[in-house]
Amino acid sequence: MEFDKDLRSIQEARDLANMGSKAAKALEEFTEEQIDKIIRNMVRVGEEHALELAQMAVEETGFGIVEDKVFKNHMATGMLYESIKDMKTQGIIGEDKINKTVEVAVPVGLIMGIIPSTNPTSTAMFKSIIALKSRNAIVFSPHPSAKGCTLRAAELMEQAAMEAGAPKGSISCLKTLSMEATDELMHHKEVKLIIATGGPGMVKAAYSAGKPAIGVGAGNSPAYIERTADVKKAVERIMASKTFDNGTVCASEQSIICERINEAEVIGEFKRQGGYFMSEEETDAVCKLLFKNGHTMNAKFVAKKPQVIARAAGFEVSDDVRVLIGRQKGVGDNDPLSHEKLTTVLAFYTVEDWKEACELSIELLQNGIGHTMSLHTEDPELALKFTAKPASRILVNTGGTQGGTGVSTGLAPSFTLGCGTIGGSSVSENVSPMHLINKKVLAYGIKDVTKLTEEDEIYQKYHGNRDFNEGKSENISITPDELKTMIEAVIAQLR
């Protein structure tokens, strides 16, 4: 009897979840040495297949640049390993000798990973490695348009893990895709945590599954070039970030903000470095291509070269153009470039001063709230003021792509960037293995509550003579001196 695809996919999801649960229980007993051996082999295999996976991703999805996806795969394996290899994710991970508490790490169990089409192989390898590092199993639900390359990445990670001693089922991936199968995994009793990287609908579904979830929302990062900035370096960083993999990284710049006082210099530098400033008519034509149903990005133009976008919009640009730039007057649907654009197009704004830049940044971030913004300045005090903006990562003098993912900053290398509660995310940091553990705490008694201090005796004497049931205070025998002693003791503790 041949079952329908949706029924077959649901059964596959159940089988993978049950197998993954058994693997997770086995991994609980693995030592640090065993886990390190496993992830080192996974890293080795990922590095060896970085080019193959990059080529598969570009061919299957049509998004991005092979060379840049190779670097993403390297970041998700080799660079990640250097960051986490000495990270303590099991046993005692913290101890407070004064308060006599001991923190012990335990795995969460089976994790479900949702993979996007923009970074399909790097995200799959990244999540596989951080899951195994924290002694968890993981099962993936890939994006339909990136099914083949995601499955290949997951299979490579699974084979590498098993070669090094991991149990079968530690890493798995749905092959028969359907919304029903993804929903089945989300709600399966053996799945203990969901890491969702993808569109807002999928992230919202993950948070609605009734179990812990780590989801990341859309980014809409503004980049402010303040009057003290080194304009040449700022533009270099922005261009390197925005053109990397044709703008597929959610932390990449979406809008440029400069001041009237440095506007001419900023425009001139962008033009020298391959920025093409579109006319109002060209900007309108590009907007009609990029967005459908309001500000939803048209997948046909995600991660495309500026020449491809311009030609489709009815005009031509030279081969040395790297980014299309369109002036916008405000924020919202009347100024479509104010929304997220995972491609080689930027919005451009001019303001009078940093205060106006602050207000505009806040407006722009409403469409990618909690994610990332960048600031180019030589004024540290001004940079500190921008921490009040609704973004979890405020990057200073670095590109959004490289800075947000931890390549050019001290942030943890990550392909899952939390947006905090303001962005509807359960974490605000770059997600790492430490987000995939439970912390148990041993708490030793340090206060002898069987003996009352002088202040405790006074307090008890005071409250022991109060008739709370009747709402009255009668026969209070506490003296003024005793009351003074009690208040002074409380004040001393608060100092």
**374 Cβ contact partners less than 8 Å away, ≥ 6 residues apart:** 221, 222, 223, 224, 238, 253, 394, 395, 396, 398, 399, 400, 403
For residues 235 and 273, the answer to whether their CB atoms sit within 8 Å is yes
* Higher-pLDDT residue of 437, 467: 437
Give yes or no: residues 303 and 206 share one domain.
Answer: no
Give yes or no: residues 50 and 190 share one domain.
Answer: yes
Q: Is a pLDDT exceeding 50 seen at residue 399? A: yes
The predicted structure's pLDDT at residue 188: 97
pLDDT digits (tens, 9 = 90+) for 107-119: 999 999 999 999 9
Share of the chain above pLDDT 70, in %: 94
The predicted structure's pLDDT at residue 445: 93
Give yes or no: residues 299 and 391 share one domain.
Answer: yes
Catalytic residue among 250, 287, 358, 419: 250
Phi, psi at 459, each rounded to 5°:
-60, -45
Give yes or no: residues 33 and 137 share one domain.
Answer: yes
Residue 218 to residue 235: CA distance in whole angstroms:
23
**Is 358 one of the annotated active-site residues of the chain?**
no
For residues 182 and 141, the answer to whether their CB atoms sit within 8 Å is yes
Give yes or no: residues 40 and 129 share one domain.
Answer: yes
Give yes or no: residues 163 and 307 share one domain.
Answer: no
Helix (H) or strand (E) holding 8: helix 5-27
Report the number of distinct structural domains present in the chain: 3
Phi, psi at 88, each rounded to 5°:
-85, 115
Residue 392 to residue 377: CA distance in whole angstroms:
19
| Strand pairing class (253-259; 221-225) | parallel
Give yes or no: residues 391 and 471 share one domain.
Answer: no
156: helix, coil or strand?
Answer: helix
The predicted structure's pLDDT at residue 202: 80
Give yes or no: residues 94 and 43 share one domain.
Answer: yes
DSSP 29-81: T--HHHHHHHHHHHHHHHHHTHHHHHHHHHHHH--S-HHHHHHHHHIIIIIHH
Q: Residue 459: give the domain boundaries.
A: 454-494
pTM of the model: 0.90
The CATH number of the domain holding residue 349 is 3.40.309.10
pLDDT digits (tens, 9 = 90+) for 49-95: 999 999 999 999 999 999 999 999 999 999 999 999 999 999 999 99
Give yes or no: residues 196 and 241 share one domain.
Answer: no
For residues 109 and 436, the answer to whether their CB atoms sit within 8 Å is no
pLDDT digits (tens, 9 = 90+) for 217-236: 778 999 999 999 999 999 99
Give yes or no: residues 245 and 268 share one domain.
Answer: yes
Give yes or no: residues 102 and 203 share one domain.
Answer: yes
